[in-house]
Amino acid sequence: MSFLSFRYEDHSNFFSEECFKARVKENIDYLEKVQEGEEKYASFLGWHRVDEWAGEEWLKRYESLASEIRKECDTLVVIGVGGSNQAARAVYEALGKKDIEIIWAGNTLSAHSVNKLFEKLEEKKNIYINCIAKNFETLEPGIAFRALRCYLQKKYGEDYNSHIIVTFTENTYSWKMAEEQGYKTLPFPINIPGRFTSLSPVCLFPLSVAGFDIRAMKRGAIEMEHKLKNSTDNPALAYATARTMLKDSGKTVELLSVFEPSLFRFEKWWKQLFGESEGKDGKGLLPMDALYSEDLHSLGQFLQDGSPSVFETFLHIKDPVASFVLGSDGVEDGFSYIEGMDFSYINNMAYEATISAHSKRFPCLIIEIKKMDEETFGSLFYFFQFACYISCLITGVNPFIQDGVEAYKNDMFRMLGKK
């Protein structure tokens, strides 16, 4: 992974190569703190050493429980919201369904969506559930779990509990409930905030059930861990420095843009990681996402000509993900000049043209990955988590708490009559 580069046709000099290098130098202290892992955040750093929750013993445990379930099931319903489902869902949606389908639940309060979920389940033969929650107070997964338990009880009778695996925090009320009810259990890492759990059972277990190569994911993450922890010529430091410099220069929005729509869920994962970690104490960049080329027809005008609040980070895949060559039907429709070209090539030209146009207006950060596979996702997860930690230190906020989320919850619980 060659990784990070910048494109900017600099008029104002506020983002010159020279300024950037000087800022990287100033930020080396932050890098060293993150490489080491700060003592004051020790209880949040279970993700920092990939082997802590993705070591050989753990992988064997995830794989052995997964293979037990794979013998029986055709569908796994994963119940979870936010950090409890985004990483697994990002990989699943990007790489496509393997042999076992995952259906995602517990991330909405919409009755329409819940009805659609149960309609979908009617077509399935043998269903298992993995309910994932750190606190098990969150409404969406909590009530989806109850609704799905009722469904399983009707479908399987007394044996329904053998279809349930929970990933809960050990020694909590929910953990005891799971043990009493005879569900299978996996520990939710006590020392990782949800949005940093990509290399832990939260993400690796459901992916292993679905048939993904979780060892390749771990390989990618470990390789990235070594790279980021052992060098000052460091892409995570460069990325964190660039984005925080741009914030200091007045930008308020970072747009993560991709030309591969199946990366949509990865963008959502990234948005939560940076939004929840950095957006506090009146600070932080608003993380937003764009799916090109479609969004060029909705956001393109604003980006090229609207208020100068945005800079853009492109996540670009170098190798074509697929191939489809445009043929001919003999109709003169005005598109013959691209006859015989591959959609991948045309998409890539759209990418080059977009960078060329946008970089005349604002700096474009470019993260290039070779191809989309499990190994790459392992690297990307670790890269962004590490870079997010550095960004938060530069910004001066605690990356690992999210008190702000409680405000609406408190009102909602009161309105719903929670004691």
Range in contact with ligand PA5 (rule: CB under 6 A) among 65-73, 192-200, 286-294, 338-346 = 192-200
Distance CA 179, CA 211 (A): 27
Among 276, 312, 374, 375, binds ligand PA5 (CB under 6 A): 276
Is 409 among the catalytic positions? Answer: yes
Q: Report the Cα–Cα distance between both ends of the chain, in Å, rounded.
A: 51
- The string of DSSP letters for 233-302 reads S-HHHHHHHHHHHHHHTT--EEEEEES-GGGHHHHHHHHHHHHHHH--TT--PEEEEEETTGGGGTTHHH
Print the binding letters for residues 116-145 with ligand PA5: x by CB under 6 A, - otherwise.
Answer: -----------------xxx--x--x----
Query: Of 276, 278, 312, 374, which residue is the catalytic one?
Result: 276
Nearest distance in Å: CB 83, ligand PA5:
3
Is 297 among the catalytic positions? Answer: yes
Look up residue 218 and give its amino acid.
K
Contacting ligand PA5 within 55-84 (CB under 6 A): 81-84
Contacting ligand PA5 within 3-42 (CB under 6 A): none
CB 293 within 8 A of CB 347: yes
Say how many CA atoms lie within 13 Å of 15 toward its Cβ: 26
- The string of DSSP letters for 257-275 reads EES-GGGHHHHHHHHHHHH
Please count the residues of this chain forming the interface with ligand PA5, following the rule CB under 6 A. Answer: 14
Query: Of 176, 371, 409, 418, which residue is the catalytic one?
Result: 409
Nearest distance in Å: CB 12, ligand PA5:
37
Nearest distance in Å: CB 265, ligand PA5:
15
By the rule CB under 6 A, 194 interacts with ligand PA5: yes
Look up residue 290 and give its amino acid.
A
Q: Is the dihedral of CA 389, 393, 396, 400 positive or negative?
A: positive
Nearest distance in Å: CB 175, ligand PA5:
13
Contacting ligand PA5 within 352-411 (CB under 6 A): 402
Query: Of 11, 71, 297, 419, which residue is the catalytic one?
Result: 297
> Which of 4/203 has CB closer to ligand PA5?
203
- The string of DSSP letters for 367-397 reads EEES--SHHHHHHHHHHHHHHHHHHHHHHT-
Chain residues binding ligand PA5 by CB under 6 A are: 81-84, 133-135, 138, 141, 193-195, 276, 402
Q: What residues act catalytically? A: 276, 297, 409
